[in-house]
Amino acid sequence: MSNLPHPIQYQGSKRNLAAFILGFFPDKIDRLVEPFSGTASISIAASAKQYAQRFWLNDLNQPLIELLQLIIDDPYEIADAYANIWEEQHFDSISHYFEIRTRFNQTNDPKLFLYLLARCVKGSVRYNSEGLFNQSPDKRRKGTVPATMSKNITGVSSLLKGKCHFTAWDYRKVLAAVQKTDLVYLDPPYQGVCGNRDSRYLAGIDFDEFVLALESLNNRGIRFVISYDGKLGNKTFGQILPERLALKRIEIEVGRSSQSTLLGRSEKTIESLYLSPNLIQDKLIDLSSYRREQPRQLTLV
């Protein structure tokens, strides 16, 4: 599904894993809920495959949610705004980037945020301890050209316009409001990546509180899928979710790390996917069949 439109390059996005993750979803979903939506790559893929026609996109990063809403509901407005900002950079693109970054940190304007995401290093979002965006520009490129950006924006809009509810709530408030007919996909920040705080996010999540929230979903019969912990070589990111949740954990080998390749190492990136007991029972998934998925190798844990 790599040909799906995606206006926002965002490190940690599940865009490249979306087709695989959808394989564990029910064929028809009343509403897909993403409490940590990021760039909504799973919802975009689910709409393209007609798994769902209603979506709840939530992220605590309010400028990101406002940007998603503009992309989906007002595609031509945000595409024109991006083109204007992009065109202004040619005399001194580095100074222009820092000027836009300063203005964004003063205003939280989502139109400015799109340019920063398109131009920053590796699409890698970074915030300082004060919650200010502080990632540097990629000096080798000037960001997505306006024509390509416009095509991606209108493509996403055509898939999701009129189908989405947008919020910038704490994830626990979202989980408290979901219904038994919903499917919840959770892709929270890895607990433990950077001590108590992951600089990719405005705020991290507490592991114990997250586990309690998942227990509540189980008790209420809510179906959910989680992308959570992972490994790079021998280094582990995030705690494994506890056995008492009765989740089925699947380790997905997603390939060699690009950084490891540059350093001449062969470290592989592994991500974990967890399926809730209500989902497994509802879908009657034969998990053994997923051992043969290629090119990614899986281990059922």
Walking along the chain (301 residues) 10 residues at a time, the average pLDDT comes out as: 77 74 90 95 95 96 96 98 94 93 98 95 86 92 93 97 97 97 91 44 79 97 90 73 93 61 57 91 54 43 48
- For 101, the domain range is 75-154
Both 211 and 279 in one domain: the answer is yes
Q: What is the pLDDT of residue 287?
A: 52
CA 72 – CA 50 distance, rounded (Å): 17
Instruction: Say if residues 10 and 38 touch (Cβ distance below 8 Å).
Output: yes
Q: Which amino acid is at 47?
A: S
Residue 133 lies in a domain: yes
Judge if 47 and 83 occupy the same domain. Answer: no
Domain match, 139 and 43 both:
no
Q: 164 and 150 in one domain?
A: no
Residue 281: left if φ>0, alpha if ψ -120 to 50, beta else—which one?
alpha
| Chosen domain end from 154, 181, 213 | 154
Same domain assignment for residues 176 and 35 = yes
As for how many domains the chain has, the answer is 2
- CATH code for position 172: 3.40.50.150
The DSSP letter of residue 190 is P
Chain centroid offset of residue 28 CA: 21
Q: Give Cα 91 distance to the centre of its chain.
A: 33
Token digits for 62? 């309010």
Cβ(190)–Cβ(230) below 8 Å: yes
Whether 88 and 171 map to the same domain: the answer is no
Angle between helices 146-160 and 75-87 (to 10 degrees): 160
From 112, 139, 154, the end of a domain falls on 154
Name the region of 191 (left: φ>0; alpha: ψ -120 to 50; beta: rest).
Answer: beta
55 lies in the same domain as 175: yes
Task: Mark whether 51 and 92 lie in a shared domain.
Answer: no
CATH label of the domain that carries residue 100: 1.10.1020.10
Tokens for 215?
Answer: 């227990």
In a domain, 3, yes or no: no
φ, ψ (nearest 5 deg) of residue 82: -65, -45
Q: What's the CA gap between 197 and 142, in Å, rounded?
A: 30
Contact 294, 246 (CB under 8 A): no
pTM, rounded to two decimals? 0.87
Roughly how many angstroms between the first and final C-alpha of the chain, as a whole number?
A: 27
- Residues 146 and 183 grouped into a single domain: no
From 42, 64, 297, select the one nearest 187 (Cα to Cα).
Answer: 42
Task: List, as one string, the DSSP characters of 61-95.
Answer: -HHHHHHHHHHHH-HHHHHHHHHHHHHTTSSSHHH
Q: Are residues 66 and 90 in the same domain?
A: no
User: Would 2 be classed as within a structural domain?
Assistant: no
In this structure, how many other beta carbons lie within 10 angstroms of the beta carbon of residue 221? 13
66 and 128 part of one domain: no
Same domain, 209 and 293: yes
